[in-house]
Amino acid sequence: MNRSFFIKTYGCQMNEYDSEKLNDLLKFSGYEQTSNFENSDIAILNTCHIREKASEKLYSDLGRLSAFKENKKKIGKKMHIIVTGCVAQAEGDEILKRNKSVDFVFGPQNFHELPKILKKKKAKKIHNNFLYEEKFKSFSLSSEKNVSKLITIQEGCDKFCSFCVVPYTRGKEFSRTVEDIYAEARSLVENGAKEIIMLGQNVSSYKSSVIKSGKDQNVFLGELCRILSKIDGLKRIRYLTSHPIDINEELIDEHKQNTKLMPFLHLPIQSGSNKILKSMNRKHTREFYLGLIKKIKGKVKNMAFSSDFIVGYPGESDNDFEETLDLIEKVKFASSYSFKYSARPGTPSSIKKCIDDNIANKRLKKIQQTLNAQQREFNISFLSDTVEVLFSNKGKKNNQFVGRTPHLQPVHVFSKENIIGKILRVKIERLTSFSFHGNLIT
Taking contact as CB under 6 A, which single stretch among the options 156-164, 326-334, 359-367, 388-396 is the one that binds ligand SF4? 156-164
Taking contact as CB under 6 A, which single stretch among the options 60-68, 109-117, 159-167, 321-329 is the one that binds ligand SF4? 159-167
Residue 423, C-beta contacts closer than 8 angstroms, at least 6 positions apart: 194, 235, 236, 388, 389, 390, 391
CB atoms near residue 324 (< 10 Å): 26
d(CA 330, CA 384): 26
Q: Which of 107, 115, 167, 200 binds ligand SF4 (CB under 6 A)?
A: 167
Question: Pairing state of beta strands 126-127 and 104-106?
Answer: parallel
Is the torsion defined by CA of 128, 134, 138, 139 positive or negative? positive
Q: Which of 43, 161, 251, 328 binds ligand SF4 (CB under 6 A)?
A: 161
In whole angstroms, the minimum distance from the beta carbon of 325 to ligand SF4 comes to: 21
By the rule CB under 6 A, 201 interacts with ligand SF4: yes
Cα diameter, the chain: 68
Instruction: Supply the angle between the helices 52-74 and 86-98 in degrees, to the nearest 10.
Output: 50
In whole angstroms, the minimum distance from the beta carbon of 35 to ligand SF4 comes to: 33
In whole angstroms, the minimum distance from the beta carbon of 162 to ligand SF4 comes to: 9
By the rule CB under 6 A, 219 interacts with ligand SF4: no
Q: Which of 51, 125, 159, 284 binds ligand SF4 (CB under 6 A)?
A: 159
By the rule CB under 6 A, 164 interacts with ligand SF4: yes
d(CA 264, CA 303): 6
Q: Considering the complex, state which of residue 12 and residue 81 has its C-beta at the smaller distance from ligand SF4.
A: 12
- Integer angstrom CA distances of residue 200 from 13, 67, 131: 9, 36, 16
Q: Which of 21, 186, 243, 266 binds ligand SF4 (CB under 6 A)?
A: 243
Q: Considering the complex, state which of residue 204 and residue 379 has its C-beta at the smaller distance from ligand SF4.
A: 204
Taking contact as CB under 6 A, which single stretch among the options 158-166, 188-196, 244-252, 378-386 is the one that binds ligand SF4? 158-166
Total residues at interface with ligand SF4 (CB under 6 A):
10
* CA end-to-end span of the chain: 52
By the rule CB under 6 A, 160 interacts with ligand SF4: yes
Picking from 396, 199, 406, the residue whose alpha carbon sits closest to that of residue 303 is 406
In whole angstroms, the minimum distance from the beta carbon of 426 to ligand SF4 comes to: 35
Q: Which residues pair with 114 in a beta bridge?
A: none
Residues that bind ligand SF4 (CB under 6 A): 157, 159-161, 164, 166-167, 201-202, 243
